[in-house]
Chain A
Amino acid sequence: MKNQSLEIIAAAQDVGGETAAGKWYDAAKATFTQLVDVKHTVSSVFQFINVPMGVWIDEQGRIVRPAEPAWAATRTDVYGGKPLAIEGEAYVAALRDWVANGDKSEYVLSDEEFARRVKPRSANEMEAEASFKLAVWFQQAGDTDRATKYFERAQALNPDDWNYHRQEWSFTGEAGKKWLEKFKGYDKEYYPKLELKKKGG
């Protein structure tokens, strides 16, 4: 999406770093800001639990819309007999509306709606974050046994954080199989349904 009024900052959250992520940025011929987020810093700051997720930030540094799925396409795929929908068209349309209209956009959330959507982390979620950080540390140090121990602890403490699972599975060679198993048994929304409510709604 080209628009001189919008800065797009993409963070490739991958412990594998540029080696893992670089070729995808190259293939996309990316002209936006391209980050290599080996410690999942952006997800930690904005409480993302899966990819792709995004936040909108205005000129004053205020979060206009907190964590939500940030797809550009719309489609429904089926995995193991279970559908997985992504809702990109409506998201991009809302984004364009905000870029054009700023604070007057109907997609800017009220303070009340923002507070409804953003909750403090629970004790388990905070401990999961600390455990994930330790796992990444060991993974980067090449200590895969200890990395696994702390990835698994993070997953147990926060089973709804798909990032903790998917990052660790990427090192196992069984990522697809493990993902499908969890997805089929998952009783919540894999991607939270977009709530593109009007301002004040």
Chain B
Amino acid sequence: MERRDFLKIVGAASLTPATAAERSDAADTSPSATVLYDDRAIALDRIGVDPAGETGPLWVRKRDLPRVNGFELKPQGACRADLCIPVPKTMTRGDFFNLTAFAKKAAQPVVAEPSAKVWSFGEMQALGGGLSNSRIAPDFEVLDRLGRPVHLAGFRGKKALVITWASW
């Protein structure tokens, strides 16, 4: 092939509109919603539309529920460990589950900024894991100065003094 012909072919290829696959690679990859739960930030790539058109409710995919709050949907309701909370029909819609309505039923606070697509969930005392139920210290994970995760459970077998301080 002569160089001129080769350059014509390369030039033509660069002007070809991107295929659908190529376009989707460049598509916006920000999550549809972010849930702040315990000390995690969970990105959800798809959430449902509220049937009443309200922005406050958060409809998550049923299959995302376990990784958000540890609950699974079963015939008797939403269950986690020994706790099952009955789920009325209005709390589900096709593949989606109304997580904010569930939180309200479980007396769990939610503070949300839907315009920024972020929902922050507070403690669910119905789970019974708080300090007033058990003297066993809950495990936690916090990063050290080098960004390495440190777990309280890693100190079992030793006496530990855990203290907080601040530069302010």
- A interface, CB within 8 angstroms of B: 5-14, 16, 18, 20-22, 24-25, 33-48, 51-63, 66, 70, 95, 98-99, 102, 111, 114-115, 118-121, 123, 126-127, 129-131, 133-134, 137-138, 143, 146, 150, 153, 163, 166-167, 169-170, 175
> Of A21, A37, A150, A169, which contacts B111 at CB under 8 A?
A150
B144 touches A57 (CB 8 A): no
A11 touches B162 (CB 8 A): yes
* A102, B159: Cα distance in complex, Å: 9
Name the residue on B nearest A21 (C-beta). Answer: B167
B131 touches A66 (CB 8 A): yes
B162 touches A9 (CB 8 A): yes
* A41, B136: Cα distance in complex, Å: 17
Name the residue on B nearest A134 (C-beta). Answer: B120
**B-side contacts of A11, CB under 8 Å:** 142, 162-165
* Contact A14-B167, Cβ < 8 Å, known A120-B132, A121-B123: yes
**B-side contacts of A13, CB under 8 Å:** 164-166
B130 touches A130 (CB 8 A): no
Question: How many chain B residues have a CB neighbour from A under 8 Å?
Answer: 48
**B-side contacts of A16, CB under 8 Å:** 167
- In the complex, 17 of the A-B residue pairs with CB atoms within 8 angstroms, ordered by the A residue number, are A6-B161, A7-B155, A7-B158, A8-B160, A10-B163, A11-B142, A40-B164, A42-B140, A51-B166, A54-B161, A55-B161, A61-B152, A63-B131, A123-B107, A127-B111, A129-B122, A150-B113
> Of B41, B125, B152, which contacts A120 at CB under 8 A?
B125
Name the residue on A nearest B34 (C-beta). Answer: A137
Interface string of B108-149 (1 = CB under 8 A from A): 111111001010111101000011100111101111110000
Interface string of B76-117 (1 = CB under 8 A from A): 000000000000000000000000000000011111110010
B163 touches A35 (CB 8 A): no
**A-side contacts of B122, CB under 8 Å:** 126-127, 129-130, 133
- B interface, CB within 8 angstroms of A: 34, 36, 39, 41, 107-113, 116, 118, 120-123, 125, 130-132, 135-138, 140-145, 150, 152-153, 155-168
Q: Which 8 interchain pairs have the tightest Cβ spacing?
A: A130-B122, A170-B168, A54-B163, A127-B109, A134-B120, A126-B122, A130-B111, A7-B160
Name the residue on A nearest B115 (C-beta). Answer: A146
**B-side contacts of A120, CB under 8 Å:** 125, 130, 132
* A51, B168: Cα distance in complex, Å: 9
Name the residue on B nearest A179 (C-beta). Answer: B168
B109 touches A51 (CB 8 A): no
* A20, B155: Cα distance in complex, Å: 26
**A-side contacts of B141, CB under 8 Å:** 41
* A137, B121: Cα distance in complex, Å: 13
* A51, B167: Cα distance in complex, Å: 10
**A-side contacts of B157, CB under 8 Å:** 59
> Of A45, A47, A99, which contacts B140 at CB under 8 A?
A45
B164 touches A56 (CB 8 A): no
**B-side contacts of A114, CB under 8 Å:** 135
* A106, B78: Cα distance in complex, Å: 45
**A-side contacts of B39, CB under 8 Å:** 39, 41, 44
* A74, B168: Cα distance in complex, Å: 20
Q: Which of A38, A51, A57, A170 has most chain B Cβ within 10 Å?
A: A57
**B-side contacts of A6, CB under 8 Å:** 158-161
